[in-house]
Structure 1
Amino acid sequence: MRPVLSLLQFTTLLPVGKPLDFDLFARHSWIFPIAGYVIALLVAIPVFFIRDTVLAAAVAVAGVILLSGAHHFDGLLDLGDGLMAQGDREKRTRALTDRCVGAGGIAAGIVVTLLLFAGLHAATSLISALIIGEVAAKFSMAFLTTYGAPFKEGMHSYLHRFSKPWFPFLSLLLCIPLVLLPVSPFRLAVAALMMILCPVVLLTISERIFGGVNGDVVGASNEITRALVVVALALV
């Protein structure tokens, strides 16, 4: 349980006791999807009692962002700035790591949030889509933590140092309980495909543009993967 508590201290604002050694989680980063289940189920509690689907979707979006302390959302804004920056790799990397948020970051935040909201609103089962999207988002973080070679020292490079090549496969096993949700196998297959495709594409883009991955890219993958998985579930 100690690695799980360390994970929740890293990914959420939950009051789960005194701070634990971060190494407890760093050595077991494949457990990322567990945080997805915890966050989604906690957000699903108030959403379950809201009849209006528009309001329910809005509360769900607000819940997953706020419960995580907007930590990963901040990574999305930074990635948006890096992708929109004009110039060579050095200028793009500087925009990615700069603490200031520019137009690219604002645009990325608006677009991804709108997609998530629309996907949840259109979903046949909002709560199921919420759970699948959040768990898939955490899988993408485990994937990039393992396979995303860092281009600078930081939180990501520290986690990457402890990662093993098989960690994402263990993370994938943690996603298996999603089959218990009232969602058709075809929709789950599409969600699984998107869950893997998103971090792979983001890894390819980041290596080409920035020369690697940092914590902002990993955090952004959480937000992007969640939104696109939910949208995919709504479309099929």
Structure 2
Amino acid sequence: MCSAGQNTSLLKVLRLVTKGLKGLFGFLTIIPVGMESIDDIARYFFLCPIVGLIIGAVAGAAGFASNFFLPDLIAGFLVLVIIQLLTGFHHLDGLLDFSDATMARGDSKRRLEIMHDMFTGAAAVASGVIVLALTGLAFGSFSGLEILKVAVVAEVVAKESMVLAAYLGKKPAYEGMGYYVVESMKNKHVKAVASLLLCAVTGFVLLGFQFVWVLVAMTVAVLVLGSYADKTLGCVTGDVMGAINEINRMIALLMMVAVMA
């Protein structure tokens, strides 16, 4: 039987986790739950897969329902639109900024300046169109209950990819969201494993063994993109994590098309 002290400690942990999740939802989505401090958001960033699960479930449910009266392709793009609306196009903006920086000439300082400026270049437009088009087409390859499953898995994987990138990447020299998130994950092996387990359990429950291929593809993509960011920018910023989120959602979906459709 649990003692009163143990119950109190458990309630305290639950309150802290709830507070952390609230902060993550407030930061990663437009859901009006209020915002917590940057420190709290960063501290519980490893719980991002839970946020992804909720976002994917909402968007996937909409796709599942609309699939009764809309063609698969339109229902698939509807899922993508809802995901982007729920996240306020936050990560898509990171993809555009990161794309411009990767195509720029100069050292890491110059690339970071380009990433943070207000202009949108050809690389940003092209990458945005390509990633969104492939993502929407991949969603449109599924119908019925499958579109709900793949929406949840894709979004959980996308969010886990940001956690993994923060865990493996270099911290920015300047203080921003990326700085605090990477700092909170650096050498935090328990957090990294817990986050990966959240992702893996969700994936294997919904897809079975086929999820192995999605997990491998996500890991390889994070290693490649994270290493490239460390080499060209000298760090993993918030924009880099946003780009990794968008790219890994697409990669996860393409892998699911390959092994399921």
Which bracket does the TM-score occupy, shorter chain normalised?
over 0.9
Contact 2:102 2:111 in 1 (8 A): yes
- Aligned counterparts of 1:126 and 1:222: Cα–Cα separation in 2: 19
- Aligned counterparts of 1:150 and 1:26: Cα–Cα separation in 2: 13
- Aligned counterparts of 2:37 and 2:232: Cα–Cα separation in 1: 34
Does structure 1 residue 156 correspond to structure 2 residue 156?
no
Quote how far apart the aligned CAs of 1:47 are.
1.1
Contact 1:150 1:157 in 2 (8 A): yes
Percent sequence identity is 30
Contact 1:77 1:101 in 2 (8 A): yes
- Aligned counterparts of 2:155 and 2:181: Cα–Cα separation in 1: 20
Unaligned runs of 5+ in 2: 1-17
Does structure 1 residue 59 correspond to structure 2 residue 78?
yes
State the partner residue of 2:6: none
Does structure 1 residue 216 correspond to structure 2 residue 216?
no
- Aligned counterparts of 1:21 and 1:85: Cα–Cα separation in 2: 34
Matches within 5 A, 1:114-193: 114-123=133-142, 125-153=146-174, 154-165=176-187, 166=189, 167-175=191-199, 176-181=201-206, 183-185=207-209, 187-193=210-216
- Superposed CA offset, 1:183-223 (max 9, x none): 241x2110111121111111111112111211100111110
- Aligned counterparts of 1:235 and 1:144: Cα–Cα separation in 2: 25
Quote how far apart the aligned CAs of 1:25 are.
2.5
Matches within 5 A, 1:1-236: 1-16=18-33, 18-51=34-67, 52-123=71-142, 125-153=146-174, 154-165=176-187, 166=189, 167-175=191-199, 176-181=201-206, 183-185=207-209, 187-236=210-259
Contact 1:118 1:231 in 2 (8 A): no
AA of the residue aligned to 1:170: A
Quote how far apart the aligned CAs of 1:123 are.
3.7
TM-score by length of 1: 0.93
Quote how far apart the aligned CAs of 1:152 are.
3.2
Contact 1:152 1:214 in 2 (8 A): no
Quote how far apart the aligned CAs of 1:147 are.
2.0
- Aligned counterparts of 1:114 and 1:177: Cα–Cα separation in 2: 26
Contact 1:139 1:168 in 2 (8 A): no
Contact 1:73 1:223 in 2 (8 A): yes
AA of the residue aligned to 2:119: C
- Aligned counterparts of 2:181 and 2:75: Cα–Cα separation in 1: 35
Taking a change above 3 Å as real, the CA distance of residues 189 and 110 of structure 1, as seen in their structure-2 partners, is same
Contact 2:94 2:238 in 1 (8 A): yes
- Aligned counterparts of 2:27 and 2:204: Cα–Cα separation in 1: 27
How many residues align? The count is: 233
Contact 2:154 2:252 in 1 (8 A): yes
AA of the residue aligned to 1:119: A
Contact 2:60 2:149 in 1 (8 A): no
Quote how far apart the aligned CAs of 1:95 are.
1.8
Quote how far apart the aligned CAs of 1:99 are.
2.3
Contact 2:38 2:180 in 1 (8 A): no
Contact 1:33 1:136 in 2 (8 A): yes
- Aligned counterparts of 2:203 and 2:255: Cα–Cα separation in 1: 16
AA of the residue aligned to 1:214: T
TM-score by length of 2: 0.84
Matched residue SS, 1:91: helix
